[in-house]
Structure 1
């Protein structure tokens, strides 16, 4: 197993700093996932007003959803765009990674502007945490990929498989975001049980496809840091989907119990 894993990862320059960055990133994202499960939610979407009494007492700042969502993704999208000028060239894999990172976060900005419909707000502290995490991941994946340009390619080349998975992930994520947006008529603010697509099987198919998108990016990159980011995002979204399903069950008596949180028929 260890030999197989070595075949899937670049032999990066030996550096205690790179190892530490990967380890800290994984632990931080895993912590966010566990925090969701135990009730310490990042305060956006359905959970923006969780612990509102504590937040208001502590002087928390609430943002409107649209600018808040844009702030989540715009810095990472700009970093992706800037990478084409900071690190020109670099071969097909590096180009694919820069494109995937830029397209992923730019898509989220455009969705925030033109697709999503909003009913609540966001707390600034959560915006800062999420935006910083995405920006760090985007910059880290691109910079570490740049550092491996002179290193031997992994024995098992996953970049084209990664591209296919990324395209599946980003398409499925957009489609289910579109379905969510169309649940509400103009000026409606309340939540409804989502239907259509994979919503008939899981409550968070958009999270499932976002995980696939990051898995695709990690396969395109094949660095340890990119794998850590993909696994870490998956752990966070697993926690988020778990509590989202619990929220729907608590709010809707007719919520279908056979609808899972994230993976059809499994979880």
Structure 2
């Protein structure tokens, strides 16, 4: 462990408090990338390069911790392997697959946003890797049959399916090189403006439940703090730019908000 346990737990509480602050801030300030890109946020870099760079710590950090744990214990924990695989599955998609499928060629993002995301992913990956591959490695084999592991894993898989299938529908809107935004149709888009965000929130709530950890909970809080305000901004943007936007669609949670 890199620091004492009390320091680690204090770090998580501070990290979680910062998530609450970020949520409040982002309800009033739209993060300036994607459809909300605007001047005044400093120098920029290509969006694709920015995405790959800022997401890469999430692959590197947890892989290093996993390797160290296996080496020190001379034992491959099956629960640890499952946690590693589902984490890596998400971030390979987010770091490598998504940037090359999304129509972001020629687009840019502020360096400040990329640097903040790089810092976030580094700290967040360390917090979660420390919990799984240091403090609680190996998990007892009975964890495989625990209700929290089963519930969390199912929720994670459902969320990932919603996230990827919703992204695919967005990609299909620009399959022929069209750069204009359109109203997404089909799937959960008939219910909410941002089902991809809804799916990602379900993923990390599932992670928090499956790991049953403060680390996982803090990550879920950060995901909500980032994506809930973003969904609100996207919903408002659709309404402002499309007069025929379906009035029945909610922002993020089907039938609720």
TM-score by length of 1: 0.84
The one of 84, 89, 95 equivalent to 1:98 is 84
Q: How does 1:1-267 map to 2 (within 5 A)?
A: 15-38=5-28, 40-49=29-38, 52=39, 54-55=40-41, 60-88=42-70, 89=75, 91-118=77-104, 120-145=107-132, 146-149=134-137, 157-267=147-257
CA contact (8 A) 2:69 2:137 kept: no
Mapped partners of 1:28, 1:189: distance in 2: 36
Q: Which runs of 5+ in 1 are unaligned?
A: 1-12
Q: Which runs of 5+ in 2 are unaligned?
A: none
Mapped partners of 2:48, 2:167: distance in 1: 15
Q: Deviation of residue 151 (structure 1)?
A: 8.5
TM-score by length of 2: 0.87
Q: What number of residue pairs does the alignment pair up? A: 247
Q: Deviations over 1:108-156 (max 9, x none)?
A: 1233343211273211111111222122212211112221237888896
Mapped partners of 1:227, 1:75: distance in 2: 19
1:158 alignment partner, SS class: helix
CA contact (8 A) 1:64 1:121 kept: yes
2:109 alignment partner, SS class: strand
Q: Deviation of residue 46 (structure 1)?
A: 1.4
Q: Deviation of residue 251 (structure 1)?
A: 1.4
Q: Deviations over 1:48-107 (max 9, x none)?
A: 22xx1x33xxxx121222112212312212223333322214623322222222111111
**Change beyond 3 A, Cα 1:85–1:156:** closer
**Change beyond 3 A, Cα 1:151–1:74:** closer
2:56 alignment partner, SS class: helix
Q: CA RMSD in A?
A: 2.4
CA contact (8 A) 1:97 1:142 kept: no
Mapped partners of 1:101, 1:24: distance in 2: 23
Mapped partners of 1:19, 1:224: distance in 2: 8
Mapped partners of 2:4, 2:126: distance in 1: 19
